[in-house]
Structure 1
Amino acid sequence: MENWMIILLAAVIVILLLVLNGYRNMRNVKALPEEEFKKELRRVQLIDLREKEKYEHGHIMGARNIPMMNFSMKMNSLRKDQPIYLYDHNGRLSVRAAKMLKKKGYSDIYMLKNGISKWTGKIKSKSK
């Protein structure tokens, strides 16, 4: 019986740590649903964090491709006085990129909730 309680307590602690870590990551970025994300696209720095091939296959109109692999080297080209809108396939890379931006003093950071995988808006693709 005691072993069962220890295992349950350990599971609760692990879950709490995961929730707190997720909350801490979300302080760096505000996740916007698609409709809200679409509203300001012409007034923001729109960044696609996916690899070049995925970007060329289809991206949101006006997006600039800065693959996550190169993000730490190229993020200094972003302006601090304009909002930054991030997206990737499912949102995981956006959270990481937002954390990096926050550490460098950027503050107006948003991401597409659930990433481009759920996007229903217009997509631009490179014709071959």
Structure 2
Amino acid sequence: MDFVMILLVASYALLAYFLTVRFMPVKGLQTINAEQFQEKASKRSGVLVVDVREPHEYKNGHIPSAINIPLSQLNSRVKEISPKNEVLLYCRTGIRSKQAGRILRRHGYTNLSHLRGGIAAWKGKLKSR
């Protein structure tokens, strides 16, 4: 096997690993549709809705009860999220919220859900700043 073939095989293996990690379900993270998300988010206590998009995305429109903790800051701001609450995560399409769920699971959070399809799937009202 020459060097090019080894590099090609390694590239395919890396791509397969990346796609598997990116799109596989996160153990302990419930994926819910917009109706289920809205029902859970409407509870007055015991639920925290977290928008993991960047601040400029959040300002353009977010679910009214949501707080903004961008995925890029989640590890350093994880203490702002009470582990006693049910945590509902969302982003634009559902990919970053899934990654946020993975991070929170590593920090010991167990009651996690994320919005399938992200805010693009949301049918409820949005609040803009």
Specify every segment of 5 or more residues in structure 2 that has no aligned partner in the other structure, as ranges: 1-11
Structure 1: 4+ residue segments shifted above 2 A: 17-23
Write the deviation string for residues 25-79 of structure 1: whole angstroms up to 9, x where unpaired: 4324111000111112134110001111110110001100001111110012111
Which residue number in structure 2 is paired with residue 104 of structure 1? 107
Which residue number in structure 1 is paired with residue 72 of structure 2? 69
- In the alignment, the residues of structure 1 paired with residue 99 and residue 73 of structure 2 have an alpha-carbon distance, to the nearest angstrom, of 13
Alignment of 1:33 with 2:33, yes or no, is yes
The alpha-carbon deviation at position 20 of structure 1 amounts to 7.8
Using a 3 Å threshold, how does the CA distance of structure 1 residues 54 and 20 change in structure 2: closer, same or farther?
Answer: closer
Query: Percent identity at matched positions?
Result: 28
Equivalent residues in 2 for 1:52-63, closer than 5 Å: 52-63=55-66
Number of residue-to-residue matches in the alignment: 113
Alignment of 1:120 with 2:123, yes or no, is yes
* RMSD between aligned residues: 2.2
TM-score by length of 1: 0.78
TM-score by length of 2: 0.78
Secondary structure, in 3 states, of the residue corresponding to 1:26?
coil
Secondary structure, in 3 states, of the residue corresponding to 1:125?
coil
Write the deviation string for residues 8-33 of structure 1: whole angstroms up to 9, x where unpaired: xxx9xx87x9568743x432411100
- In the alignment, the residues of structure 2 paired with residue 21 and residue 94 of structure 1 have an alpha-carbon distance, to the nearest angstrom, of 12
Retained in 2: the 8 A contact 1:28–1:95?
no
Which residue number in structure 1 is paired with residue 91 of structure 2? 88
Specify every segment of 5 or more residues in structure 1 that has no aligned partner in the other structure, as ranges: 1-10
Retained in 2: the 8 A contact 1:29–1:98?
yes
